Structure 1
Amino acid sequence: MKILTTSDLHSYIYPYDYSDNKEKNMGLSRLSTLINEIRDNDTIIIDNGDVLEGSPLSFYHFNFDEDNIHPMSRVMNYIGYDYINVGNHDFNYGEKHLLKHLDYLNAKCITCNVLYKNEFIGKSYIRQMSNGKKIGIFGIVTQYIPNWEKEENIVNFKFLNAFEVCKEKVNELKDKVDYIVCVYHGGFERDLETNELLEPETFENVGSKILNEIEGIDILLTGHQHRSISCKVKDTIVTQSASNAKEISFVKINNEITSSLLIADKEADYEMLKLVDEDEKKCQVWLDEKLGESKVDLKVNDEFDARLNKHQVITFLNMVQKDISNADLSSCALFINAKGFNEYITYRDIVSTYTYPNTLVVKKINGKTLKAYLEKCAEYFEIENDEIVVNNKYIYPKLQHFNYDMVDGIDYTIKVSNDIGNRIVELKYKGKDIKEEDSFSIVLNNYRSSGGGDFSMIKDSKVIKEIQTSMVEILAKYILKNKVIDFEPVNNINVIK
């Protein structure tokens, strides 16, 4: 028996990066060729979620072509997936689009800890191997989704405890099958070798808890953290593949179970690409539409430096957020692999810089909360060999550069050598020291507003208003309206040793 599993595809079908259209070892079209080379009559093909959101093609679909079938739904049927699990990002565009995707797919949904209008969206399955042995397969997704997702997108969904459902399913299956496969859209909160805790125990990731406390799982197929994992922990084979269809997990069951990760280095499946060729052509035309031009250098060449010495593209993003919200303060992060804007700005620049379908929320905070928020952000840095570097917890086990926010509208200094919680050594608004009782309005993205990234102090703050337009659309409209972007650089954040 062979089990091929994709995870965190994020709507990357084509074998290139949309920021420059240069071919890379990525894209479901390359993995499709690999799947066709490997599959036989005793092969199971699984997807582990996060397929509907991510690439510009997906953004284009939801904003300009949503009445048609999502490109990912079409190519997944072409490949012939047997089972699918849902991921947290599959809820980003609301129940209508997720249910439409699930209804169109020929694959069976195995997500066992999510209910829609009090009915489970998936169930476990038993599959017989060619040698007569049986495999039990079920899926679970991180229960942390309500902490990130906009409420209107999940109002009819209920998310059960992933660990408890996993335990129940193992108990249900263990006497009926020879092998148990758990497909988990979540990752690991502990180091797989040392068992050292790597992150706060929020239950976003419970992979280690599953491995440590539930006996009987033969294969644990994971995702969410975008890591490359193929190993054995105790008696369980564990895999996880990199995002954007760069890899596929390959598990073989013979007398023993083995696993490996295969790279997307094959030729693209051009028959598959024919199914979405018109969608892609329209998307590419849209991406290259000129919106305006910038007199300020907004191109990001060094991500670390752009965070250490706040890049002016952050100033611009915050400027736009303040413009539409009229908030006193604005906060945003430089997302992973953000490219910034060229002199002549196109949609390609925007979606390569602002890579998530976030909306905005304006909240009311006081000086005490603002300082606590900035102290949390300041944890991003640490001192190593007398140099300022990124705190390793923002790199391993998962890249979390998006959890370092930069705030405009205030001036502040981060002293990295100070203890965590005491790093904000200067904090001023309009030249005056900020007091605990001072009151401000601040505009943030909906992910941060809901406490995403463990920013509980922001989650607990009062909502003034919500702006339901996506930030990509807000940026495009601002640039189209103003045509020429020109402003004085704002260097309001000072990060020192």
Structure 2
Amino acid sequence: MANRIRILATSDIHGYIFPHNYADNNPRELGLARLNTLIQALKDQNTLLIDNGDVLEGSALLYHHSRYHSDDISPASIVMKKIGYDYVNLGNHDFDHGMKALEKHLEYVDVPCITSNMDYRNKHFGPTYVIRQFGNTKVAIFGLTTQNIPRWVNAASIKGCKFRSAFDTAKRTVELLKDMERPDYIICVYHGGFERDLAGGYPTESLNGENEGYRILKEISGIDVLITGHQHSSMCGTKFNKVYIQPASCGKELACIDIYTDTHTIEPRLLKADADADEELLDLIRKQEEECQNWLDEPLGTCAGDLMITDQLDARVHKSQAVTFINQVQMEVTGAQLSMTALHSNAAGFHHDISMRDLVNTYLYPNTLIVKKINGRILKQLLENSAAFWSIRNDAVVVSPAFDKPSPKYYNYDMIDGVDYTIKVSNDVGERITDLTYQSQPVTDDMEFTLAINSYRASGKGGYDFISRCPMVNDIRKSIIDILADYIREHHHISFEPVSNIHIIR
């Protein structure tokens, strides 16, 4: 169509290629194979296809690949090359396995990486911008990633990398484009989201630079389309005379932006992944998928109690015994007095017959285990941070909007075993922890403890900077998934007394 330029974008695929959830293998409307059927139907000579990052980590398939076949080309790389992207931008999880793995992925996919606010070994990793000409229409495109990557990713994985402010980079780039290129349209591809409510303008999270989409929309004149990601939200609209869009994660949606050059109108749409999966695409990695499925079904042992999670809210209000089990293993393996863990947003729990599938779908993260030395004051600060997860609405305890919108951050609610405590939600944030005891004795600020904690949280991620400064007692350089798997294999039958040590009251 001569008067229409089409931009198609994927974001936050997180290794979901096959159209099923690895928890139960039931068909789902998600995955790159479904999206590719849409992509190929929508593409023409006036179309650009862009990926907005976080493709290399997140599914059982890619965990299995990184665990057993890290020297091989990633299944995500194989299918992205076949799909035929024009540009890729980077997300924070694309750095999880280090620069060597990321560079291997980019070399194989063989398309330009447009991330412009990152330096690697003192050189810009991506171009400042790229220009595409469609007849007489000039389109400028530039990519950004969230500048907070060093707060989340292991320092060794991003050695030599420097990340600059997404907002400042966007502002300079747009000014440069106006002066040097004078394009008809400017497209910003940003692996970041919105720090403020798009309707009301009030903050929805800590304004720490992780997400700057609202500020980019409001304060930078000249951007026509802002493609966003990172928050796993589904959103599409117009704000401050700019089009914004963000497709849902795991390949549930495809972003489609049509620019009509004759009327100077822009129409954004989110398309559901309801097409049939591209079986030819899946054939390219079917062998890896079958090996992964066999691994997931590997029996590890059995458990006596009910460790399934059927209600995500209840699993936190009344601490699921799956959390108790994980914490008890972490304390037993490390000898720590206390243990802290969180559940991801869709954690499944453990069946009576425990398999690797249960583990991967309950503890999703590729974290290792750290032991920190803390005192009673730090312990209370940890618990107060976590207690901010809750709020009261209509006289009922609910998840605070800050942890629920624009996308759930349930992984930021940590539960600690080894102590008993009460969260009084009606108290002000920072003053909610009451009746904190250790072995029936009140915890005082000067008491000392050892705490088993995952590597993500130990490095201060998720608003826990203070824990990163606490002395490290032990570093178990082994993934928590592997620690749990080895524990179950060794003990075979898991049986323990339920522990209800956390009490949440209004």
TM-score between both structures, scaled by the size of structure 1: 0.98
Residue number among 167, 174, 193 corresponding to 2:171 in the alignment:
167
For residue 249 of structure 1, what is the amino acid of its counterpart?
A
5 Å-filtered alignment, 1:45-64, equals: 45-64=49-68
Correspondence for 1:227:
233
CA contact (8 A) 1:82 1:106 kept: no
Residue number among 304, 309, 324 corresponding to 2:313 in the alignment:
304
- String of CA shifts for 1:182-240, please: whole Å, max 9, x gaps: 11000010111221111111101111111122111111100000111111111211000
Select between 121-130 and 72-81 the one with higher mean Cα deviation. 121-130
Correspondence for 1:346:
355
CA contact (8 A) 1:80 1:106 kept: no
Q: Report deviation, 1:381.
A: 1.4
Correspondence for 1:260:
269
SS of equivalent residue, structure 1 residue 468: strand
Give the count of matched residue pairs: 497
Identity %: 47
Correspondence for 1:33:
37
The separation in 2 between residues aligned to 1:117 and 1:183, in whole angstroms, is: 23
Select between 25-34 and 358-367 the one with higher mean Cα deviation. 358-367
- String of CA shifts for 1:74-115, please: whole Å, max 9, x gaps: 100111000000100011111111111111112110001111
The separation in 2 between residues aligned to 1:247 and 1:468, in whole angstroms, is: 37
The separation in 2 between residues aligned to 1:203 and 1:40, in whole angstroms, is: 37
Displacement over 6 Å in runs of 4+ = none
Q: Note the residue ranges of structure 2 that are not aligned, 5 or more in a row.
A: none
Correspondence for 1:201:
207
Does residue 338 of structure 2 align to residue 329 of structure 1?
Answer: yes
Residue number among 65, 90, 96 corresponding to 2:94 in the alignment:
90
Correspondence for 1:469:
478
CA contact (8 A) 1:126 1:134 kept: no
The separation in 1 between residues aligned to 2:323 and 2:132, in whole angstroms, is: 54
The separation in 2 between residues aligned to 1:312 and 1:92, in whole angstroms, is: 29
CA contact (8 A) 1:42 1:129 kept: no
Select between 191-200 and 38-47 the one with higher mean Cα deviation. 191-200
For residue 39 of structure 1, what is the amino acid of its counterpart?
K
The separation in 2 between residues aligned to 1:186 and 1:408, in whole angstroms, is: 34
Q: Report deviation, 1:383.
A: 1.9
- String of CA shifts for 1:327-354, please: whole Å, max 9, x gaps: 1110001211100010111110000101
The separation in 1 between residues aligned to 2:248 and 2:150, in whole angstroms, is: 24
Q: Report deviation, 1:132.
A: 1.8
CA contact (8 A) 2:36 2:83 kept: yes
Correspondence for 2:420:
411
CA contact (8 A) 1:412 1:426 kept: yes
Inter-CA distance 338–363: structure 2 relative to 1 (3 Å threshold): same
The separation in 2 between residues aligned to 1:161 and 1:127, in whole angstroms, is: 22
SS of equivalent residue, structure 1 residue 197: coil
The separation in 1 between residues aligned to 2:88 and 2:312, in whole angstroms, is: 35
Q: Report deviation, 1:130.
A: 3.0
Correspondence for 1:81:
85
SS of equivalent residue, structure 1 residue 104: helix
The separation in 2 between residues aligned to 1:56 and 1:188, in whole angstroms, is: 28
Residue number among 234, 253, 276 corresponding to 1:247 in the alignment:
253
The separation in 1 between residues aligned to 2:483 and 2:463, in whole angstroms, is: 26
The separation in 1 between residues aligned to 2:313 and 2:430, in whole angstroms, is: 22
Residue number among 157, 164, 174 corresponding to 2:161 in the alignment:
157
Does residue 409 of structure 2 align to residue 400 of structure 1?
Answer: yes
The separation in 2 between residues aligned to 1:128 and 1:328, in whole angstroms, is: 59
Correspondence for 2:197:
191
For residue 173 of structure 1, what is the amino acid of its counterpart?
L
Correspondence for 2:7:
3
Residue number among 215, 218, 239 corresponding to 1:212 in the alignment:
218
The separation in 2 between residues aligned to 1:162 and 1:359, in whole angstroms, is: 30
The separation in 2 between residues aligned to 1:432 and 1:29, in whole angstroms, is: 56
The separation in 2 between residues aligned to 1:295 and 1:120, in whole angstroms, is: 55
SS of equivalent residue, structure 1 residue 324: helix
The separation in 1 between residues aligned to 2:25 and 2:72, in whole angstroms, is: 25
CA contact (8 A) 1:81 1:106 kept: no
Q: Report deviation, 1:125.
A: 4.2
